[in-house]
Amino acid sequence: MARVLVVDDEPNMRWVLQEALTKAGHAPHTAGSGSEALALLANTPIDLVILDLKLKGIDGLATLQAMHQRWPEVVVIILTAYGTVATAVTALQSGAADYLRKPFDVEEILFKITRALERQMLQQEIQRLRSKTPDLPPGSHLAWRRVVEVAAEAIRQDFDLRLIGESGSGRATIARYAHAAGPRRKAPLVELDLETLPAEQQASILEGSSEQDGAWAKAGQGALLLRHLHALSLNGAAALARLVQRRTDQQHGPLLLTTEPADYRPPQLTVPENRRRAEVRVPPLREHLDDLLLLAQFWLGDTAIAPAASNALHAYSWPGNIAELRGVLERAAALAHGAPIEERHLSANVCAAPLANEVIRLPPEGLNLETVEVALIRQALVLAGGNKSRAAELLGLTRHTLLYRLEKYSIEG
């Protein structure tokens, strides 16, 4: 629920929006002029303002500028029945989050409210994470945040940790964060990428020529991070097993492992049963696409992403996960030269529509349209990671139209 202020000098418009906001679960307030709105904001907590640009007395643009100067955290959506695109651009440059032309669809403005508040939440999350853990890619999706929290708690309790996920999903980054957030943060984190180590050298690098110069010995009271466990050779596994067996007496820190789902538990690696262990699954990016813009802003700062480019980024399946996303975004930002990232700046494979060369044909035997619709809605919810606003975008619907269909077909979202 959001506290929404409607500023319009037309009583009927205020009433319509007040009724729609109340039905949608928001707490509406109203003002008939710019001065009345500013007075109300000075005494009432407000999350979002719907502001008509054509107001008597102080006009909407002047009201917007005063709001943005005094309460920059308040989200503002502009309404205009007479303005041009240039007017809307001026409003956006003055701090508005979005705009709508009158007459408008009530569902459309409710959807824009949801999107604007989500963007505000993303910005707040970015600032929070940057101030605390600048090396951790941010994310607000429950699946991602849960992995981060469990990993950090495991390291705090001195567990060994196995992070299971697809390549590029952020496993090593989470491991580094967990170590930095734990009680051994001042001790070294020694990191070995087994994919880059020749199989015949793994044992000697792990153990060293003496008990003092092996990789784990160099970590001391810190941790050893082994990346890409599937590349661990038989000799390397034997050396690691010996190190693990000796660890209790030498008080080494935890062992951190990253592995892919197919290599969930390599048979050649054994760990003593008395050693406490935790295993967490790191979700692929396609399962937390809501975090895409958070990640983009974390890496690119103030570089904007145009709506068409954002749609293309969200429609792509990201087989290379977070690592692939970062490469695509950094390349696009370089091509944009400081301007907003457009669709033309993205890689061709990202922009390619999944069904660009396909035609949907009605089979000769016919089909049940309701069954097809239900199937598409379920697919959209999966692709959107359960986020209804994103699922509605994928289907070309407003959020409230999607909610109606979810209720109609008894689909649990």
Give per-residue pLDDT as tens, 263-310: 544 434 444 455 678 888 999 998 888 889 889 988 888 889 998 888
Residue 345 has pLDDT above 90, yes or no: yes
CB neighbours of 74 closer than 8 A, spacing ≥ 6?
A: 41, 46, 47, 48, 49, 67
Bigger pLDDT: 169 vs 221: 169
Query: Binning pLDDT at 50, 70 and 90, where does residue 363 land?
Result: low
Q: What is the pLDDT at residue 91? A: 77
Q: What is the pLDDT at residue 272? A: 47
Q: What is the pLDDT at residue 25? A: 86
Q: Do domains 3-129 and 142-283 have the same CATH topology?
A: yes
According to the CATH classification, is domain 285-358 in 1.10.8.60? yes
Poorest-pLDDT segment among 30-44, 46-60, 219-233, 355-369? 355-369
Per-residue pLDDT tens digits for 223-268: 888 888 888 888 888 888 887 777 654 456 788 888 888 654 443 4
Residue 50 has pLDDT above 70, yes or no: yes
What is the distance between the alpha carbons of residues 296 and 395, in angstroms, rounded to a whole number? 24
Enumerate long-range contacts of 286-289, CB under 8 Å, 24 or more apart.
286/317, 286/318, 286/383, 286/385, 287/141, 287/143, 287/385, 288/139, 288/141, 288/143, 288/144, 288/385, 289/314, 289/383, 289/384, 289/385, 289/387, 289/390
Q: What is the pLDDT at residue 84? A: 58
- Residue 342 CB coordination number (10 Å): 17
Q: What backbone torsions phi and psi does residue 175 show, to the nearest 5 degrees? A: -60, -45
Q: What is the pLDDT at residue 82? A: 60
Q: Which residues pair with 304 in a beta bridge?
A: none
Q: What topology does CATH give the domain 362-413?
A: Arc Repressor Mutant, subunit A (1.10.10)
Residue 48 has pLDDT above 80, yes or no: yes
Per-residue pLDDT tens digits for 78-134: 888 765 556 767 777 777 888 888 777 888 888 888 888 877 776 666 555 544 544
Q: What is the pLDDT at residue 249? A: 47
Per-residue pLDDT tens digits for 133-146: 445 778 878 888 88
Q: What is the pLDDT at residue 133? A: 45
Query: Binning pLDDT at 50, 70 and 90, where does residue 189 land?
Result: confident
Average pLDDT over all residues of the chain: 81
Return the domain boundaries, the chain. Answer: 3-129, 142-283, 285-358, 362-413
Q: What is the pLDDT at residue 126? A: 56
According to the CATH classification, is domain 3-129 in 3.40.50.300? no
Query: Binning pLDDT at 50, 70 and 90, where does residue 357 land?
Result: very low
Q: Are strands 160-164 and 255-259 parallel, antiparallel or unpaired?
A: parallel
Q: What is the pLDDT at residue 4? A: 92
Per-residue pLDDT tens digits for 379-412: 888 888 888 888 888 888 888 788 878 888 888 7
Q: How long, in residues, is the chain?
A: 413
Alpha-helix runs per DSSP H in 265-398: 292-300, 307-315, 321-336, 348-351, 369-383, 388-395
Q: What is the pLDDT at residue 5? A: 93
Q: What is the pLDDT at residue 86? A: 65
Q: What topology does CATH give the domain 142-283?
A: Rossmann fold (3.40.50)
